[in-house]
């Protein structure tokens, strides 16, 4: 049972509930509370760790019965409290916000593997797109905000995980906050919906709601289906003699790859500003998948040309050819910049997978992305 600190003032639709700001003024000794959706994913775990070091009480939304990731999460992030809820279920989100009474909500949950969004386009729209609406509605309803009643000071602040996939067939390079969107997958389309909806709730209701447009961000905790981790695991398996080949899709795609641990600090900075503003977050350096192969195989003293096979099964119906961030606004106004270089990141991932597989571990020992 979660501890209750504040009187619950939440009802769905037509509520006259008092805003959290009103409730908080009489309580001086509160540490800040964050509620994270997608807590079992790569970004969720890094953000939870980071916010804990900042003195937050961290709550994670988890879905389903007997979710195997919950046990893993409890083992690795013991101080994170879990609440049940699902982005497909409006009532459960209202209950979660009502119970946790967060200061900040980070919506990181999504179906985030782009190829899956063609196979399950409707589900992607429901989770990655409409899920944003449900979280915003939960905050709005629990805060008693309506068209005629704005949030007060101390309102719940909302972060939406927007994506560089929204730029898709890019109109300019590098991409800034002003670059128009042209998404190339059902995933990208769903993210555009979530992005504009976040902006719309900010403009319609005066909510502190922002989006971070994050470019690709990776780590040893990345799901094995994404190309960086697929390659780092592939290198480790080949080096250790478990496999001889690695099958991949389009090697000429370019991405701006950074370290996920650096990027979660940007999310937190965005919610700490005086004004709600969206930011592009990336390194400004772009590499091809072929460059990635070159670096990753070199870490293990291997030549990728001896092992990599291109396979049409991994070619997408529509590709995003090249992404590159212009994160100068984040650098200037948030004071944010990435610390880890591409070479360090890939080196770290390959070393981590060599160690993991040598000690009998599995790729799934970290969680991968989740909603």
Q: Could you list the active site residues? A: 163, 165, 187
Between 21 and 123, whose beta carbon lies closer to ligand G4F? 123
Residue 94 backbone phi and psi in degrees, to 5: -60, -45
With respect to ligand G4F, which residue has the nearer C-beta, 58 or 192?
A: 192
**Smallest distance, Å, CB 79 to ligand G4F?**
27
Stretch that binds ligand G4F, among 58-66, 174-182, 249-257, 359-367 (CB under 6 A): 249-257
Is residue 286 within the footprint of ligand G4F (CB under 6 A)? no
Please identify, using beta-carbon distances, which residue of 215 and 259 lies nearer to ligand G4F: 215
Per CB under 6 A, the list member of 40, 45, 107, 112 interacting with ligand G4F is: 112
E-only strand ranges, 45-103: 57-62, 81-84
Site for ligand G4F in 288-347 (CB under 6 A): 289, 314, 316, 319-320
Candidate residues 37, 92, 101, 163; the one interacting with ligand G4F per rule CB under 6 A: 163
d(CA 234, CA 228): 10
SS3 for 159? strand
Judged by beta carbon, residue 249 or residue 284, the one nearer ligand G4F is 249
Question: What's the closest the beta carbon of residue 287 comes to ligand G4F, in angstroms?
Answer: 11
Nearer to ligand G4F, 146 or 250 (CB): 250
Question: Residue 153, Cα to own-chain centre: how many angstroms?
Answer: 27
| Beta carbon nearer to ligand G4F, 10 or 345 | 345
Work out the end-to-end distance of the chain between its first and last CA atoms, rounded to an integer number of angstroms. 23
**Distance of closest approach, residue 272 Cβ to ligand G4F, in angstroms:** 22
- Compute the least distance from the CB of residue 121 to ligand G4F, in Å: 15
- Contact (Cβ atoms closer than 8 angstroms) between residue 346 and residue 219: no
Shortest Cβ 292–ligand G4F spacing (Å): 8
Smallest separation, CB 32 to ligand G4F (Å): 27
The widest CA-to-CA distance across the chain, in whole angstroms, is 67
Instruction: Give CA–CA dist 187/51, Å, rounded.
Output: 28
Of 72, 250, 328, 341, the one binding ligand G4F by CB under 6 A: 250
Q: Are 255 and 222 in contact (CB under 8 A)?
A: no
Q: Which residues contact 276 (CB under 8 A, 6 or more apart)?
A: 157, 202, 207, 208, 209, 210
One residue of 114, 138, 142, 270 binding ligand G4F per CB under 6 A: 114
Site string for ligand G4F, 198-227 (x = CB under 6 A): ----------------xxx--------xxx
Backbone phi, then psi, for 325, in 5-degree steps?
-85, 140
Burial label for 26, CB within 10 Å (0-12, 13-18, 19+), is exposed
Going across the sheet that includes 81-84, the strands are: 81-84, 57-62, 33-37, 104-107, 157-163, 209-214, 279-281
Site of interaction with ligand G4F (CB under 6 A): 112, 114, 163-165, 214-216, 225-227, 230, 248-250, 253, 255, 289, 314, 316, 319-320
């Amino acid at each position: 049972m979660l501890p209750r600190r504040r009187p619950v003032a939440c009802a769905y639709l037509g509520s006259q509930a008092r805003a959290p700001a009103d409730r908080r003024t009489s309580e001086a000794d509160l540490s800040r509370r964050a509620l994270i959706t997608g807590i079992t994913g790569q970004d969720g775990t890094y953000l939870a760790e980071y916010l804990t070091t900042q003195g937050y009480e961290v709550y994670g939304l988890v879905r389903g019965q007997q979710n195997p990731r919950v046990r893993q999460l409890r083992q690795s992030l013991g101080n994170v409290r879990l609440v049940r809820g699902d982005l497909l279920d409006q009532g459960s989100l209202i209950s979660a916000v009502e119970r946790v009474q967060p200061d900040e909500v980070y919506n990181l949950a999504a179906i985030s593997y782009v190829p899956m969004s063609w196979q399950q386009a409707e589900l992607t729209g429901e989770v990655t797109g409409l899920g944003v609406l449900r979280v915003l509605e939960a905050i709005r309803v629990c805060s008693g905000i309506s068209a005629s009643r704005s949030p007060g000071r101390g309102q719940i602040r909302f972060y939406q995980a927007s994506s560089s996939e929204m730029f898709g067939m890019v109109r300019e390079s590098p991409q800034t906050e002003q670059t128009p969107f042209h998404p190339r997958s059902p995933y990208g389309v769903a993210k555009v919906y979530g992005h504009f909806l976040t902006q719309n709730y900010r403009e319609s209701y005066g909510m502190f709601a922002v989006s971070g447009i994050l470019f690709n961000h990776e780590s040893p905790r990345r799901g094995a289906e994404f190309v960086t981790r697929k390659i780092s695991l592939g290198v480790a398996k080949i080096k250790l003699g478990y496999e001889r080949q690695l099958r991949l899709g389009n090697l000429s795609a370019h991405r701006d790859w950074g370290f996920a641990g650096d990027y979660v600090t940007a999310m937190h900075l965005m919610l700490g500003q005086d004004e709600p503003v969206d930011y592009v977050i990336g390194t400004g350096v772009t590499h091809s998948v072929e460059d990635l192969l070159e670096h990753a195989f070199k870490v293990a003293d291997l030549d990728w040309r001896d092992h990599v096979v291109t396979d049409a099964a991994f070619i997408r119906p529509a590709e995003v050819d090249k992404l590159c961030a212009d994160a100068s606004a984040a650098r200037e106004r948030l004071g944010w910049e990435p610390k880890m270089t591409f070479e360090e990141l890939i080196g770290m991932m390959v070393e981590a997978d060599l160690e993991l597989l040598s000690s009998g571990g599995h790729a799934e020992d970290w969680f991968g992305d989740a909603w």
